[in-house]
């Protein structure tokens, strides 16, 4: 996760009232971090949601997509200030979101990143720690420290 996520890719209290607004805010932040066009990011995320929700259950969503001009796989993480309906498979609102963007040529790297994120967020205790962290720095430390602990 360390190579995918930068400290400025964390939003500790994202304010949004709908799934669409969450995706718009994340696309805006991703555009700032990657130099990609905000509209292109938003369109890719919406297109992916049309295929099926990325709300995986237990308050977690992993929206993702591929962009032709993105140089490498990158991630953003947001904790919402209030959960929103994300059409999740368990019909529960979402408050933890990990956005993944990959180059169209990423192939297995994109799948590895998705697997890494879903493994981390499958742990209920870890998700509670993320929900309890009150700053972007604290969330970043949790996300990057946990991976190092798991690798040991």
Residues near 152 by beta carbon (within 8 Å), at least 6 away in sequence: none
Report yes or no: 27 and 42 within 8 Å, Cβ to Cβ. yes
C-alpha span between 91 and 111 (Å, rounded): 25
64 assigned to active site: yes
Neighbours of 38 (CB within 10 A): 16
Q: Which of 37, 64, 110, 145 is catalytic?
A: 64
Chain center to CA of 112: 14
DSSP state of 115: H
Chain center to CA of 14: 12
Give the residue numbers marked as catalytic.
Answer: 64
């Amino acid at each position: 996760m360390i190579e995918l996520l930068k400290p400025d890719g964390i939003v500790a209290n994202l304010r949004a009232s709908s799934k669409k607004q969450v995706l718009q805010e994340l696309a805006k932040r991703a555009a700032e971090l990657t130099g990609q066009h905000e509209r292109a990011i938003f369109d890719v995320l919406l297109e992916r949601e049309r295929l099926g929700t990325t709300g995986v259950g237990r308050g977690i969503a992993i929206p993702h997509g591929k962009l032709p001009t993105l140089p490498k796989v990158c991630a953003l993480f947001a904790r919402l200030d209030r959960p929103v309906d994300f059409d999740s498979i368990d019909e529960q609102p979402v408050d933890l979101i990990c956005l993944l963007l990959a180059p169209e040529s990423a192939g297995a790297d994109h799948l590895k990143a998705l697997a890494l994120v879903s493994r981390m967020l499958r742990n209920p205790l870890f998700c509670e720690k993320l929900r309890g962290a009150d700053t972007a720095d604290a969330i970043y430390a949790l996300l990057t420290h946990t991976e190092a602990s798991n690798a040991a």
